Chains A and B, each alone.
Chain A
Amino acid sequence: MSATATEAPETHDALVEPSSLSPRRRAFNNIVKSREASILLVLVVVIAAATVKTPSFFFSGNSWRDLLLTPSILLLLAVGEAVVIITRNVDLSVGSVLGLTAYLTGRLFIDHPGINIMVVGVAGLLVGALLGLINGVLVGWGKVPSLVITLGTLYIYRGIVLTWAGSNRINASDMPSGFLDVGTKQILTIPVLFIVALVVLVAVGYYLHTARGGRELYAIGSDPDAAELYGLRVRRRVVSAFVLSGALAGLAGVVFAARYGTVSSDAGTGIELQAVAAVVIGGVAIFGGSGTVWGAAIGAVLLVTINRALPILGIPDFWQQALVGALIISAIVLDRVLNARRARHLIESRDNS
Chain B
Amino acid sequence: MLVTEKSTAVLDMRGVSKSFGQVVALRSGSLKVDAGSIHALVGENGAGKSTLIKIVAGVHRRGSGELLLDGEAVDFSSTAESKAAGVAVIYQEPTLFPDLSVTENIFMGRQLLSGGRRIDRAAMYAEAESLFKGLGVKIDPRRPALGLSIADQQIIEIAKAISLDARLLIMDEPTAALSGVEVERLFTVARRLRDEGRALVFISHRFDEVFALGDMVTVMRDGEYVATKRVADTNVDEIVELMVGREVSNLFPKKAAEIGDTVLQVDGLTSAGVFHDVTFKVRAGEIVGLAGLVGAGRSEIARAIFGVDSYHSGTVTLGGSSVPIGSPRAAIRAGMAFIPEDRRKQGLVTEASVARNVAGVIRNKLTKAGLLTQSVENAAAGPWAARLHVKTSALDMNANTMSGGNQQKVVIAKWLATNPTLLIIDEPTRGIDVVTKAEVHRLLSDLAGQGLAILMISSELPEVLGMADRVLVVCEGRITADIPRAEATPESVMRAATQSLEAHR
Contact = CB atoms under 8 A, between A and B. Distances in A.
A210 B95 CA distance: 23
The B contact surface, by secondary structure, is loop
Interface string A337-349: 0000011111100
Contacts of A228: 79
Given A231-B109, A289-B97, A19 B142 contact: yes
Contacts of B149: 350
Interface string A170-206: 0000000000000000000000000000000000000
A353 B147 CA distance: 13
A342 B96 CA distance: 17
Interface string B81-124: 10100000001000111111000100011110100011100000
Interface string A198-234: 0000000000001110011011011101111111100
B97 A17 contact: no
B79 A229 contact: yes
A285 interface: yes
Contact of A285 (B80, B99, B141, B148): B99
A232 B119 contact: no
Interface in B278-320: 295
B108 A232 contact: yes
A229 B91 contact: yes
Interface string B119-149: 1000001000100000000101111101111
A346 B144 contact: yes
Contacts of A216: 108-109
A145 interface: no
B152 interface: yes
Contact of A215 (B108, B138, B147): B108
Interface residues of B, number: 36
A215 B119 contact: yes
A322 to B, nearest CB: 31
Contacts of A222: 97-100
A229 B108 CA distance: 11
Nearest to B119: A210
A225 B98 CA distance: 12
A159 interface: no
A290 interface: yes
A350 B179 CA distance: 14
Nearest to A226: B95
A18 B147 contact: no
B78 interface: yes
Nearest to B105: A219
B147 A350 contact: yes
B99 A231 contact: no
A16 interface: yes
9 contacts: A17-B140, A18-B142, A19-B141, A210-B118, A216-B108, A222-B100, A227-B97, A228-B79, A346-B144
Given A289-B98, A350-B152, 20 more contacts: A18-B140, A18-B143, A19-B141, A210-B118, A212-B110, A215-B104, A225-B95, A226-B95, A226-B96, A227-B97, A230-B109, A231-B78, A231-B81, A231-B109, A289-B99, A289-B100, A345-B147, A346-B146, A346-B147, A353-B138
Interface of B: 59, 78-81, 83, 91, 95-100, 104, 108-111, 113, 117-119, 125, 129, 138, 140-144, 146-149, 152, 295
